[in-house]
């Protein structure tokens, strides 16, 4: 289905299960480490620099932000993990919210796990992968910030991920607008 990406709308922020969207629309999520570039990538997709908030204090709010695009699909900006300065009780809140989201949110079609292309998959990302698998959730990998490295290195990283997981990696840079078409095509093919 074709989507007009120029027609996004912020729906709401969810802080607990009661806030989840009762959706008849397919939901695509964006998850990954704090500061990996989730909100920036969403803004690249929606061609709007201000739609998803890019905060200067990473990992500050533990909420899920929903966007409706073209009245057809929902994109969910999930709270990041791995923020070093987070308190234990905040980590527990993150776990609780994520667990109830992945089991309780209707219509989740696919989850994009964003990985900083320079870092590759770290331990917490692997835990996320295992967790999504155990919940029978579909996922794909997206490399972010590829503008910060040589393209050959990013491609090698993507090949390494493919060798382990058997999945193609979508290479992106929100700064340079790289990978937008690939990502939008990927989503449009799924609905």
Ligand X SMILES: Nc1nc2c(ncn2[C@@H]2O[C@H](COP(=O)(O)OP(=O)(O)OP(=O)(O)O)[C@@H](O)[C@H]2O)c(=O)[nH]1
Please say whether the beta carbons of 96 and 18 come within 8 A: no
Kindly list the distances between the CA atom of residue 132 and the CA atoms of 25, 48, 145, in Å, as whole numbers in the listed order: 20, 29, 24
Nearer to Mg ion, 37 or 158 (CB): 37
Q: What is the helix (H) or strand (E) element at residue 30, kind and residue range?
A: strand 27-32
Kindly list the distances between the CA atom of residue 102 and the CA atoms of 15, 19, 66, 170, in Å, as whole numbers in the listed order: 14, 14, 14, 23
Rounded to a whole number of angstroms, the minimum distance from the CB of residue 39 to Mg ion is 3
Q: Could you tell me the two tokens for 103?
A: 């089991």
Nearer to ligand X, 147 or 182 (CB): 147
Rounded to a whole number of angstroms, the minimum distance from the CB of residue 30 to Mg ion is 9
Name beta bridge partners: 66: 12, 76
Can you say whether the dihedral through the CA atoms of 148, 149, 151, 153 is positive or negative?
negative
Residue 39 found at the interface with Mg ion (CB under 5 A): yes
Scan residues 121-150 and list those touching ligand X (CB under 6 A): 144-145, 147-148
Mask of contacts with ligand X, 154-183, x by CB under 6 A? -------------------xxx--------
In whole angstroms, give the CA distance from residue 129 to residue 138. Answer: 10
Rounded to a whole number of angstroms, the minimum distance from the CB of residue 189 to ligand X is 23
> Which of 8, 20, 40, 157 lies at the binding interface for ligand X (CB under 6 A)?
40
Nearer to Mg ion, 63 or 100 (CB): 63
| Binding-site ranges for ligand X (CB under 6 A) | 34-40, 54-55, 58-59, 80, 144-145, 147-148, 173-175
């Amino acid at each position: 289905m074709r989507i007009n990406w120029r027609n996004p709308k912020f729906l709401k922020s969810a802080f607990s299960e009661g806030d989840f969207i009762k959706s008849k629309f397919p939901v695509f999520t964006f998850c990954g480490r704090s500061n990996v570039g989730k909100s920036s990538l969403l803004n690249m997709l929606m061609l709007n620099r201000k739609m998803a908030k890019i905060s200067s204090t990473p990992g500050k709010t533990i909420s899920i932000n929903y966007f409706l695009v073209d009245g057809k699909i929902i994109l969910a900006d999930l709270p990041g993990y791995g923020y070093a300065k987070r308190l234990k009780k905040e980590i527990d809140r993150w776990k609780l919210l994520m667990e109830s989201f992945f089991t309780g949110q209707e219509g989740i079609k696919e989850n994009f796990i964003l990985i900083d292309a320079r870092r590759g998959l770290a331990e917490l990302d692997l835990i996320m992968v295992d967790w999504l698998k155990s919940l029978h959730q579909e996922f794909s990998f997206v490399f972010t910030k590829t503008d910060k490295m040589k393209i050959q290195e990013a491609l090698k990283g993507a090949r390494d991920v493919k060798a382990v997981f058997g999945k193609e990696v979508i290479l992106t840079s929100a700064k340079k607008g790289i990978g937008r078409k690939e990502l939008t095509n990927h989503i449009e093919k799924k609905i």
